[in-house]
Chains A and B, each alone.
Chain A
Amino acid sequence: MSISPNILADLQQIWSYQFMQNAIEAGTLTAIVAGVTGYFVVLRRSAFTAHAFSEIGFAGAAWAVLSGIPPLAGLLLGSNLGGLGIALLGRRATNRDTQIGIVLAFSLGLGLLFISLYSGYATQTYSILFGEILGVSYDQVLETIVAAVGILIGVGIIYRPLLFASLDEDVAEAKGMPMLTLGIAFMIIVAVAVSFAVQVTGVLLVFSLMVTPGATAQYLARRPSRAIAASVLIALLATWIGLFLSFYTPYPVSFFITAEVFVFYLFVRFVFVRFRWEKISPGTILKSPSDRSG
């Protein structure tokens, strides 16, 4: 297979492979879900939490491999337990970073133990760590559809209260919003989204779909609905282009996705934003918190 100048013919060629169809479908669904939830992850400064889910999920997946059940089941179990635990700790716990870091390190250690106990092939471990979108089965695509629909409905239901609680927790609480329930619902949504994103990017690279598109989108739009749309679009394009490039090169999809979102983030953060904001309010990007009184 080699790339031709005729993009349409290339796409036809890609689509003629069942594994590429599966990969594109699962990748598209995952990108949409990761783009939507990633916006809130960034808005709530929960990137580290999202990363922790994937590592707790790794321990779960390694355990699942060892026990002969599907890794996805272990991932979901691990990340959801982690999500529940972190949500119950509460968003206010000031040293939560530390606690998450402690749990994260232990989870990775557990995962390592399970892998060393497993006498089989190491490729499964590798694919959990770095993603294996090209190995997604048709059944996994169906599972991803169910999860994506569930997550999008969930986000739709808690959309405004979640936004409110993310921007102004104290007032939202005073207005009677159930903060603990909201926190748990959001963490479960993120845990499920992370578990499916791991199929595409792997445990170690999940940031590239869960955090970078959301972070980039915040610089592109100031209205949450538009920023979420931008976040989804970035995740989608990165996934599609990554799949396309990796089809014609010997390099892994995950690498292309991480590289694309990173380069685009740099462009938006340092080129696009300067050009756009300086017309409105000069120098705001450089302001530190200490300059802001008065």
Chain B
Amino acid sequence: MAMLEGGREATGTKSSLITAQNLSAGYSGRRIWSDVSFSFGRGEFVAVIGPNGAGKTTLFRVLLGLQRPLGGSILVFGEPPRRGNPHIGYIPQRHTIDTETNVECLELVRLGLSGTQWGFNPLAHHDRDAALSALESAGAADLAHRRLGALSGGELQRIFLAEALVSDPDILLLDEPLSNLDIRREMELLHLVNNVVRTRGVTALLIAHNINPLLPHMNKVMYAANGKMATGKPAEVLTSESLTRLYGVQVEVLKDPHGNVAIIPVEEHHGNVP
């Protein structure tokens, strides 16, 4: 607990909430990525980009303490990850909630705070207030009394964001919250997350397939491919040299006038295309 407080005190100093040294992860017998080092401080918005199977979700599972790393060291709030850390908010990768779920959204968000408590206290209402304020932060106050099963994809992601925020976390892990969203909802959700990162000083890691919508918001990028990850500021990672090293084939990073990037293999049309 003392270490945890230490992590919380680090607000002022720029010391990091998450530090990894030569980390490798995977399942027994199959290493998904190895020799990954990074360090994220408070209030950083990190985009985690890469193709399917590159081990992005595995990284989250390691941070959540759901999966042991195969090697190297990882510290979250200055201590090894442990399952059930209330200072981490998490949106898992998923498609939807059953359309027949006739439970109101507020209840799910409340459970984000009190769902880990045993016993039954019909008079406890502190979780209700916290849930209402989390819904407010996630721009979903108007959805509080709607049925979970009747929400659209974008609305559902805002509820999941509120559920992740309700325990007032220092780290947010968002696994593909943008999938299934159209461009407008995608931008809206990113603005919401960015707002949370800035106003609450939360460190957010967001997994996505396309980096371009994230460019205006993010401080750092983790690019996963080929059993490795390249981490750093966008300007450092999104270069032809760095991504060529990562992919092991010649790639070129092209930028359009708006700053959007396209990553294109220079070799003939064979080899490791992202």
Contacts and interface: CB of A to CB of B under 8 A. Distances in A.
Interface in A142-185: 156-161, 163-165, 167-168, 170-177
A156 B153 contact: no
B112 interface: yes
B120 A167 contact: no
Contacts of A176: 82-85, 116
Given A167-B111, A176-B84, A225 B122 contact: yes
Contacts of A156: 119-120
B116 A292 contact: no
Nearest to B91: A171
Interface of B: 64, 66, 82-86, 88, 90-92, 94, 96-104, 107-108, 111-112, 114-120, 122, 145-148, 150-154, 163-164, 180-182, 185
A201 interface: no
B90 A171 contact: yes
Contacts of A163: 107, 111, 115
Interface residues of A, number: 37
Q: Which of B84, B104, B153 has the most CB of A within 10 A?
A: B84
Given A173-B66, A174-B83, A292-B152, A222 B102 contact: yes
B92 A223 contact: no
A294 B111 contact: no
Interface in A47-72: none
A160 B117 contact: yes
Interface of A: 43, 45, 156-161, 163-165, 167-168, 170-177, 218-219, 222-225, 227, 280-281, 284, 287-289, 292-294
Contacts of B112: 171
B198 to A, nearest CB: 24
B181 to A, nearest CB: 7
Nearest to A152: B120
Nearest to A222: B104
B120 A157 contact: yes
B119 A289 contact: no
A174 B66 contact: yes
A219 B111 contact: no
